[in-house]
Chain A
Amino acid sequence: MGLSNPIIDTAPDADGFFGRFGGRFVAETLMPLILDLREEYASAKQDPSFQGELAAWRKDYVGRESPLYFAERLTEHLRGARIYLKREDLMHTGAHKINNCIGQILLARRMGKQRIIAETGAGMHGVATATVAACFGLECVIYMGAADIERQQPNVQRMKLLGAEVIPVTSGTGTLKDAMNDALRDWVTNVGNTFYIIGTVAGPHPYPEMVRDFQSVIGREAREQLWEKEGRLPDSLVACIGGGSNAMGLFHPFLRDPSVRLIGVEAAGEGISTGRHAASLQGGTPGVLHGNRSFLLQSTDGQIQDAHSISAGLDYPGIGPEHAWLHEAGRAEYVAIDDDEALAAFQTLCRLEGIIPALESSHAIAHAIKWAPAMPKDHLMVINLSGRGDKDMATVTKHLADELAD
């Protein structure tokens, strides 16, 4: 495990390790599939025709590139850093999730798989998966925790409308981690014809690498766009983290630019000290779950604990292994924002910029609101606005009932 410097080293290594994190901790039944997938992905990654196809789908179907928008009123309001928003909320299906899904479904087609499965928490990855499956004419089964189905009804309806079968997961605690368990159980049962589209930079190797690569289009575009507008690199990047795919996508093209500060914002839920949070790096310890070693929320006996956040998309008790590595190596910084701060930021962005952000992305906005005023006026900050907030109206309305009644 010689990898320790993200500025110099290429990660992951051949066994899927980012430093001591990552790997492929899966049942033997899945190993041959994981190895096939790695080979197939490695060849697709080098194949100009696959890359050309991917670029065309991104442009015409996803709607890329996404704008890099100068948030002038937010900047004026905070009287500090110059704030840009990377508008992933404007992409097809309303979040960054489609960047990964379109890449993986092209790979599934290349491998001749006819059946797509996925797990989903808030439902955004489920919707994006159901969308590409419909577009490619493939059977689609989405595993979703029964508790999440309850709080994300509009997304459940969208998935069904798109032709996917949504299977409520009641095992364990009926949340995202259990949905991932059941998706893995499905995969191990239907190994021959099924492709598992994992929605974040976690899971066994090669998923963390593959999802990162598909999401890195965010950072590559932001880099070029900011260069065009400001003629230089950003000083900081800010993104929310559940599993960490939108953050990894924004950060990765800047890993080797030491002047660029990378700031990941975890969900502090009701506060890290209450134990009811989703901040795996700041409130967790290293462990092995869902095929990789990373930081996890777990008991002293190694039992996985529930994550808590107002935002279902951040409600995961783990984090992608590359983030764990960047954290330990000190290349990225990780902070936490609680439910109340996220809700306040949600409203601020609505009123100042006319943009309704996802509650997930509101965590990143909230950190900027806290921190940007302390930065000089020439500090360039890019916030990943990873998704739009329409799906969160019920949650937000409930929490702000008194205020909206005025």
Chain B
Amino acid sequence: MTNSQNRIERRFAELKAADRAGLVTFISAGDPDYDTSLEILLALPEAGADVIELGMPFSDPMADGPSIQAASLRALNAGQDMHKTLAMVRALRERDDDTPLILMGYYNPIHCMGVGHFLEQAADAGVDGLIVVDLPPEHDAELCRPARARHIDFIRLATPTTDARRLPLVLHNASGFLYYVSSTGVTGAAAPSAERVEEELNTIRGHTDLPIGVGFGIRTPEQAERIARFADAVVVGSALTDCIGDASQPSEATRQVVNLTRSLAEAVSNARGTRSVQERKTPEVG
């Protein structure tokens, strides 16, 4: 655990040194079942995921679109719970001590487990950061500050409705990186206009040195490539989740997620015309 607490910082420093954007992949833990989901999770780093977001399934994911709603339900119906989600993180850490892992979800399952107990277990499992959609900066005392005290980053979301007046508050306790939600709406909605997102990012960069990841509505390698020209990372979730939802059998789900991750990683890596994903990945695997 000693030098593992800054995996996010280290990864973004590496990306910056390589002058390329990173790929952040999202899957719901336990989707479609525990074993398949674990197999997918373990395959992600090699397939080209620079940062992994692992969803903590919740019965009422009100910021998510149909794709991730369905993924949460599949996972819950298969018996996923917080303990199993943390067990997946521990299993990843046995094989991979470099890829940053961020738990993403809603506050209630954490609230229900107890914030102190959750953070202890999460830190112990090797979680690097948290994204909790329904905890705005106004509620930093609930989870953000206790998490920071345990060296777990609290990744903040900025959105098109976050105006200049509000941005400093959003950035105040932010750490790790800033997640820019590229469109109003739920996950998996329409693709954002790359030009507008680039303008927004330029504005935000005037207020923070944190790396900025862009997500919501990015589904294809082509879309990812355009955003990767200027963003520090590109987040893809619903498109990967759809691979799982559409798969005829679990082994097919793994194969489809790995394939899409590979092509997204390649597109993201090559966006600024530098090194290819294979070259960069080789030393890290194993």
Question: Are A289 and B60 closer than 8 Å at their CB atoms?
Answer: yes
Contacts of A191 in B (CB 8 A): 161, 184
Question: Are B111 and A302 closer than 8 Å at their CB atoms?
Answer: yes
B111: min CB distance to chain A, Å: 5
Q: Residue A188 contacts which of B63, B110, B113, B163 (CB distance < 8 angstroms)?
A: B63
Question: Are A289 and B185 closer than 8 Å at their CB atoms?
Answer: no
B residues 127-145 touching A (CB-CB < 8 Å) = 133-136, 138-139
**How far apart sit A185 and B166, CA to CA, in the bound complex (Å)?**
22
Contacts of A301 in B (CB 8 A): 81-82, 109, 112-113
Q: Residue B60 contacts which of A27, A177, A293 (CB distance < 8 angstroms)?
A: A177
Question: Are A26 and B60 closer than 8 Å at their CB atoms?
Answer: no
B residues 104-157 touching A (CB-CB < 8 Å) = 106-113, 133-136, 138-139, 156-157
Question: Are A303 and B134 closer than 8 Å at their CB atoms?
Answer: no
A residues 291-320 touching B (CB-CB < 8 Å) = 291, 293, 296, 298, 300-304
Contacts of B161 in A (CB 8 A): 28-33, 191
Within 8 Å of chain A (Cβ to Cβ): is B158? yes
Question: Are A302 and B62 closer than 8 Å at their CB atoms?
Answer: no
Binary interface profile of A, 278-289, with partner B (CB < 8 Å = 1, else 0)?
000000011111
**How far apart sit A396 and B228, CA to CA, in the bound complex (Å)?**
60
Contacts of A31 in B (CB 8 A): 136, 138, 161-162, 166
Within 8 Å of chain B (Cβ to Cβ): is A184? yes
Within 8 Å of chain A (Cβ to Cβ): is B59? yes
**How far apart sit A143 and B109, CA to CA, in the bound complex (Å)?**
26
**What are 29 contact pairs spanning A and B, CB under 8 A?**
A23-B139, A25-B135, A27-B134, A28-B161, A28-B162, A28-B181, A29-B157, A29-B160, A29-B161, A29-B181, A29-B184, A31-B162, A32-B161, A32-B163, A172-B59, A178-B60, A185-B63, A185-B65, A188-B63, A188-B186, A191-B161, A286-B111, A288-B106, A289-B108, A301-B82, A302-B58, A302-B108, A302-B113, A304-B108
Within 8 Å of chain B (Cβ to Cβ): is A15? yes
Question: Are A171 and B66 closer than 8 Å at their CB atoms?
Answer: yes
Within 8 Å of chain A (Cβ to Cβ): is B76? yes
Contacts of A188 in B (CB 8 A): 63, 184-186
Question: Are A26 and B184 closer than 8 Å at their CB atoms?
Answer: no
Question: Are B163 and A298 closer than 8 Å at their CB atoms?
Answer: no
**How far apart sit A289 and B62, CA to CA, in the bound complex (Å)?**
9
Question: Are B62 and A290 closer than 8 Å at their CB atoms?
Answer: yes
Contacts of B134 in A (CB 8 A): 25-27, 288, 291
Within 8 Å of chain A (Cβ to Cβ): is B37? no
Within 8 Å of chain A (Cβ to Cβ): is B238? no
Question: Are B60 and A287 closer than 8 Å at their CB atoms?
Answer: no
**How far apart sit A25 and B140, CA to CA, in the bound complex (Å)?**
11
| Residue among A28, A30, A287, A304 with max Cβ neighbours from chain B (10 Å) | A28
New A-B pairs, 18, CB < 8 Å, besides A32-B166, A188-B186, A189-B185: A26-B134, A27-B136, A28-B161, A29-B184, A31-B136, A181-B60, A181-B62, A185-B186, A188-B185, A189-B189, A191-B184, A288-B111, A289-B108, A298-B108, A300-B112, A302-B108, A303-B58, A304-B108
B258: min CB distance to chain A, Å: 29
- Interface of chain A, main secondary structure: mixed
Within 8 Å of chain A (Cβ to Cβ): is B159? yes
**How many residues of chain A have a CB within 8 Å of chain B?**
39
Known: A185-B62, A301-B82, A303-B58. A26 touches B136 (CB 8 A): yes
**How far apart sit A189 and B159, CA to CA, in the bound complex (Å)?**
12
**How many residues of chain B have a CB within 8 Å of chain A?**
42
Question: Are B158 and A172 closer than 8 Å at their CB atoms?
Answer: no
Residue of A nearest to B159 (CB): A29
Within 8 Å of chain B (Cβ to Cβ): is A24? yes
- Interface of chain B, main secondary structure: loop
Q: Residue A288 contacts which of B82, B107, B160, B184 (CB distance < 8 angstroms)?
A: B107
Binary interface profile of B, 79-122, with partner A (CB < 8 Å = 1, else 0)?
00110000000000000000000000011111111000000000
Question: Are A28 and B158 closer than 8 Å at their CB atoms?
Answer: yes
Within 8 Å of chain A (Cβ to Cβ): is B36? no
Known: A172-B69, A184-B62, A191-B184. A28 touches B107 (CB 8 A): no
Question: Are A288 and B108 closer than 8 Å at their CB atoms?
Answer: yes
Binary interface profile of B, 155-191, with partner A (CB < 8 Å = 1, else 0)?
0111111110010001000000000010011100100
**How far apart sit A180 and B111, CA to CA, in the bound complex (Å)?**
21
Known: A25-B107, A28-B162, A171-B69. A303 touches B59 (CB 8 A): yes
Question: Are B63 and A27 closer than 8 Å at their CB atoms?
Answer: yes
**How far apart sit A298 and B133, CA to CA, in the bound complex (Å)?**
19
A189: min CB distance to chain B, Å: 4
Question: Are A28 and B170 closer than 8 Å at their CB atoms?
Answer: yes
**How far apart sit A171 and B188, CA to CA, in the bound complex (Å)?**
15
**How far apart sit A6 and B1, CA to CA, in the bound complex (Å)?**
48
| Residue among B59, B113, B160 with max Cβ neighbours from chain A (10 Å) | B59
Question: Are A304 and B59 closer than 8 Å at their CB atoms?
Answer: yes
Contacts of A32 in B (CB 8 A): 161-163, 166
**How far apart sit A106 and B243, CA to CA, in the bound complex (Å)?**
46
A361: min CB distance to chain B, Å: 28
A317: min CB distance to chain B, Å: 9
Question: Are B157 and A302 closer than 8 Å at their CB atoms?
Answer: no
A residues 164-190 touching B (CB-CB < 8 Å) = 171-172, 177-178, 180-181, 184-185, 188-190
**How far apart sit A31 and B158, CA to CA, in the bound complex (Å)?**
11
B residues 33-68 touching A (CB-CB < 8 Å) = 58-63, 65-66
Residue of A nearest to B83 (CB): A301
**How far apart sit A7 and B238, CA to CA, in the bound complex (Å)?**
49
Residue of A nearest to B181 (CB): A29
Question: Are B185 and A298 closer than 8 Å at their CB atoms?
Answer: no
Q: Residue A27 contacts which of B113, B133, B138, B160 (CB distance < 8 angstroms)?
A: B133
Contacts of B59 in A (CB 8 A): 172, 303-304
A249: min CB distance to chain B, Å: 26
